[in-house]
Amino acid sequence: MSDIVDAAKRLLVGRPKRSESLGRTLLPKRVALPVFASDALSSVAYAPDEILLTLSLAGVAALAFSPWVGLVVVVVLLIVVASYRQNVRAYPSGGGDYEVATTNLGRTAGIGVASALLVDYVLTVAVSISAAAHYASAAVPGLRDHEVVAAVVAVSVLTLINLRGVRESGTAFAVPTYCYMAIIGALVVTGAVRYFAGNLPQAASSGYELVGEAAFDQGLVGIGGAFLLARAFASGCAALTGVEAISNGVPAFRKPKSRNAATTLLLLGTISSTMIISILLLAQATGVRFAEDPHSQLQVNGEPVSTDYVQIPVIGQLAEAVFSGFPPAFYAVSAVTGLILVLAANTAFNGFPVLGSILGRDGYLPRQLHTRGDRLAFSNGIVTLAIAAIVLIVAFDASTTRLIQLYIVGVFVSFTLSQLGMLRHWTRELRTEPNPTVRSRMKRSRVVNGIGFGFTGTVLIIVLVTKFTHGAWITLLAMGVLFVLMRGIRKHYDRVREELALDDISAARALPSRVHAVVLVSKVHKPTMRALAYARAARPNVIEAVTVGVDREDIDGLVAEWETLDLPVPLRILDSPYREITRPVLKYVRSVRRESPRDLVIVYIPEYVVGHWWEQLLHNQSALRLKGSLLFTPGVVVASVPWQLASSRGHTGLEDDTFMHGRRI
């Protein structure tokens, strides 16, 4: 069975890699761009949708503000990109915002940033995959109403690809990401040419009347209108997610790591900004209508659209209009956009495990997250992220609109604290830097980070105010729970480290004064003889065999056989009037400890090694109970003495070098 499992694992994940091959997994910029920037680039597929969807609440006239809202989003994006270019140069170790906040603002701020980033990475996967499922259902009608299943399958496939290793996942994702950039570029260029030529068709939804909610019957005037614009801006800021992943992934870049990461950030900002503005302008030119509740907001001749109307995402509507008369182009755009949304989650699959590894190293998360798997990927972190994302997708029915309300909060918490930390970093460095040229560069960097702090802090306030009641409170609650959990894990590890640390007394008592060996015996057979041989080979000061007197007839037979064989180890019989086994053994071992507190007691327990799970139910139950109890007894060592039964042959893969039943097989 184990061979079958191992073969299946190798088929899905690949053969193990040696540790020294880690350097060959580093990424050049052309591969690092799709690996780390796919999240921000793919946001073009849903950030414009969310801007239009929010503005639609005020009616068709409000859609005219969409390019201006997009422009403000782009300005913030470029400022954040410029700020993070300073981060990756100052902190290239891969700690990203967590390292910046911890180093400059203290441990509490660092844990706060880490909890925000972990939640945001999970939401990145959930939002991207859910959006991809809806794009797929637009192109493949058979997937409609099955978006949750499609999303769960996509997360599972993505998990397997990432378990194969960073370089493999980067190579697999590079081609689709560049295809996505090319096809969006073709859409924008073709749309612009047709617009200036005067033959740009209108979107299929342009003929619908867009009815706003009653609260916005006066359009975007007054406080309500300003609040709606702020909410649209907050939703559009989903385009900024993924920027921080590059600062966490600097160690995965080839040398010079910082310069390559900074260049990748610049490419990300330029391409993403161009795409967002172009899509919003093209949506306005083609008259795209995109509503939060299409069956009540979209009308034809004063009547709501039919109940079977399916609202196609904005890019899908644009492709249908721009490439009118050529349906394959529409399907190509929908397919590639859906694929890039799946791959966008790869940004989180690269960021979450690395951050989890750093937090595991620092004692804020379980140590298992710090260990690389046999493919040199942080396997435990990858699986943890996948499980959390699947739970969210199922819980929110793969609804992008519902999930995106939880989005952004975490990333802007990390943005803001990171920029504040960088301000302190440059201020501290300037106190000790004598070189005028270097000081001048540091001052420019401080100005950039200062502007970044101002903008990201403002956006964070807007996001909290506009999205709190729409689901942002769930994100804040999750961050709070993670914060408390990480503090608790760190306290546990600190307590254990203090408890295990050597001092003068523990060093003096490291060696016991004597060793008292106790061999547990149920009957005289081969496992018992092996346990006695092992105990004698260890040369303890005292050795004795111990059995529990449950059945008088069995005990008499055991004593008679013991004497007949003339075994050189005394046999002690423990009385058990209530036919218990565990309690008498524990009582005796503790009495030995009380008589000689500095003695080490080693309890040898013969155990059967079986090859089938059902055999385990038939053997070793008393041994398991004894071990579980003895492990909590100070000064006692439990030694399991294995005896391999015939059914266990072939389960280790090492039988050529093992002895079973006293002979080589």
E strands, 82-153, in order: none
> Which tens digit of pLDDT belongs to each residue from 464-520?
887 787 777 888 899 999 999 999 999 988 888 887 676 655 555 556 778 899 999
pTM of the model as a whole = 0.70
Residue 302 burial (C-beta neighbours within 10 Å; 0-12, 13-18, 19+) = exposed
For residues 404 and 416, the answer to whether their CB atoms sit within 8 Å is no
* CA 266 to chain CA centroid, nearest Å: 26
* Angle formed at CA 45 by CA 402 and CA 303, multiple of 5 degrees: 65
**Comparing C-alpha atoms, which of 453, 469, 39 is closest to residue 231?**
469
> Which tens digit of pLDDT belongs to each residue from 243-288?
777 776 777 777 888 888 888 888 888 998 899 999 999 999 998 8
If DSSP codes are grouped into helix, strand and coil, which group holds residue 307? coil
- Report the C-alpha gap between 551 and 374 in whole angstroms: 51
φ/ψ of 469, rounded to 5, equals -75, -10
Q: What is the 3 state secondary structure string of 319-368?
A: HHHHCCCCHHHHHHHHHHHHHHHHHHHHHHHHHHHHHHHHHHHCCCCCHH
The residues that bridge with 253 in the sheet, in sequence order, are 27
- Report the C-alpha gap between 203 and 208 in whole angstroms: 10
- Report the C-alpha gap between 59 and 542 in whole angstroms: 90
Tokens for 92, please give them: 């290239």
Q: Which residue ranges of the chain lie beneath pLDDT 50? A: 1-5, 9, 18-23, 168, 653-665
* Angle formed at CA 325 by CA 323 and CA 329, multiple of 5 degrees: 40
CATH numbers and ranges of domains, the chain: 52-306+316-493 (1.20.1740.10), 512-664 (3.40.50)
pLDDT given at position 629: 84
pLDDT given at position 2: 47
